[in-house]
């Protein structure tokens, strides 16, 4: 019997368009022998709409003035059952599982996960706590450090703090990076090389968050590793390497310049280093209480030292994104991967339901 899956995408973060692109790819590849798919697009203004397949294929962004009130929907718990309601017609549709692919603020920071949890809906991906901690780069680093996992030196800079280029340079060296604590896709991230370009770049970073992370520059290979599965049974893919043609892996290099980076999968590293990457990716995943999926990003220094850069609990999910491509190189194709991730959602939900029964 097919399950009804609601694919949630869009949102009002700076990664709105990236999310829609991920949703298009997932929808095209999903196994329709197993799942009926309902498309729930969140506008930049925060309104939820039901989209047809044709609308999803055409749309590049979702705005309130492009959709009718008849398409407005809401997720609720109706008679203890996860339900999608069309607000104008009061039509009800039972939902078995959610696949949230809303990147960025309110999508991968625990907010959407909290909503789905309150509505008792099984959902793909990490839970509230791990989503929130991994989204905030400061707290992610605190957990990694506590777990004995190497990560870069950093300073937290709040908008109200007294800070200067010299102060940061003295602690981290030059050049260094500045990045908003709670964004993804390299939005608001800058490489600072001199005092003259510091004020403008940190001002831009503060447009996206009240808190900015200043981070040391690490010379080395940029590696990524995909992880999937429930926390205690996590598995890591073969690692991939990013050979960046820009000064760093910026938003432009990721999404605007077709030649911005070369992706090499599997990464051209020694077997020893590959094994170390996979082991450390699983260790980080477990330390941060991740479930379902995450991508762990690394720097491999010339001396062989491995440093975790960050962990993305809702990585880009187009067919050419690193997360699915690394699994493809490891032996799991895109369509099968989607099915596995949905099954992990049901497994996690059943496991939590069983725990609740034990408490009662």
Note the pLDDT tens digit of each residue in 301-314: 999 999 999 999 99
Nearest to 284 by CA among 313, 253, 263, 243: 313
pLDDT greater than 90 at residue 185: no
CATH topology of domain 3-123: Rossmann fold (3.40.50)
Q: Are strands 221-229 and 35-42 parallel, antiparallel or unpaired?
A: unpaired
Other beta carbons less than 10 A from residue 290's beta carbon: 28
* Whole-number CA gyration radius for the chain: 21
Selecting from 3.40.50.720, 3.30.1490.20, 3.40.190.10, 3.40.50.1450, what CATH number does the domain 154-216 have? 3.30.1490.20
Q: Is the peptide bond before 175 cis (omega within 30 degrees of 0)?
A: yes
Please write the tens of the pLDDT for every residue from 81-125: 899 999 999 999 999 999 999 998 899 999 999 999 999 999 999
Please report where in the chains the tokens 């491995």 appear, as a residue.
306
CA 141 to chain centre: 16
In CATH terms, the superfamily for domain 132-150+219-348 is ATP-grasp fold, B domain (3.30.470.20)
pLDDT greater than 50 at residue 250: no
Please write the tens of the pLDDT for every residue from 303-352: 999 999 999 999 989 888 899 999 999 999 999 999 999 999 999 999 88
CA 273 to chain centre: 25
Query: What percent of the chain lies above the pLDDT cut of 70?
Result: 93
Domain residue spans of the chain? 3-123, 132-150+219-348, 154-216
For residue 255 the two structure tokens come to 């999404």
Mean pLDDT, all residues of the chain: 91
Q: What pLDDT score was predicted for residue 253?
A: 45
* CA-to-CA separations, 13 to 26, 106, 182, 201, in angstroms, rounded: 20, 8, 11, 20
Please report where in the chains the tokens 């793909």 appear, as a residue.
124
pLDDT greater than 60 at residue 359: no
Q: What pLDDT score was predicted for residue 246?
A: 54
Q: What pLDDT score was predicted for residue 260?
A: 58
Name the residue with higher pLDDT: 4 or 243.
4
pLDDT greater than 50 at residue 13: yes
């Amino acid at each position: 019997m097919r399950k009804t899956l609601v694919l949630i995408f869009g949102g009002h973060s700076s990664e709105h368009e990236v999310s829609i692109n991920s949703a298009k790819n997932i929808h095209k590849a999903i196994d329709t022998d197993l799942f009926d798919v309902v498309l729930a697009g969140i506008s930049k203004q925060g309104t939820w709409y039901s989209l047809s397949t044709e609308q999803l294929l055409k749309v590049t962004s979702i705005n309130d003035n492009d959709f009718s009130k008849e398409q407005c929907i809401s997720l609720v718990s109706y008679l203890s059952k996860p339900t999608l309601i069309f607000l104008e017609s009061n039509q009800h549709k039972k939902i078995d599982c959610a696949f949230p692919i809303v990147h960025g603020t309110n999508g991968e920071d625990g907010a959407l996960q909290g909503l789905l949890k309150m509505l008792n809906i099984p959902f793909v991906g990490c839970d509230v706590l791990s989503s929130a901690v991994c989204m905030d780069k400061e707290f992610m680093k605190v957990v990694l450090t506590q777990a004995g996992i190497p990560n870069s030196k950093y300073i937290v800079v709040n908008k109200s703090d007294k800070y200067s280029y010299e102060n940061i340079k003295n602690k981290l060296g030059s050049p260094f990076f500045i990045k908003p604590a709670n964004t993804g896709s390299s939005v608001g991230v800058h490489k600072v090389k001199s005092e003259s370009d510091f004020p403008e770049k940190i001002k831009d970073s503060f447009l996206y968050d009240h808190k900015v992370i200043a981070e040391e520059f690490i010379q080395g290979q940029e590696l990524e590793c995909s992880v999937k599965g429930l926390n205690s049974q996590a598995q890591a893919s073969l690692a991939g390497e990013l050979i960046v043609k820009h000064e760093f892996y910026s938003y432009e290099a990721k999404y605007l310049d077709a030649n911005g980076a070369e992706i090499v999968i599997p990464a051209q590293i020694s077997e020893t280093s590959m094994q170390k990457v996979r082991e450390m990716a699983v260790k980080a995943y477990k330390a941060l209480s991740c479930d379902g999926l995450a991508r762990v990003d690394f720097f491999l220094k010339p001396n062989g030292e491995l440093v975790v850069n960050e962990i993305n609990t809702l990585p880009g999910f187009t067919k050419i994104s690193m997360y699915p491509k690394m699994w493809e190189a490891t032996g799991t194709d895109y369509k099968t991967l989607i099915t596995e991730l949905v099954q992990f959602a049901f497994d996690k939900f059943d496991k939590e339901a069983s725990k609740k029964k034990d408490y009662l």
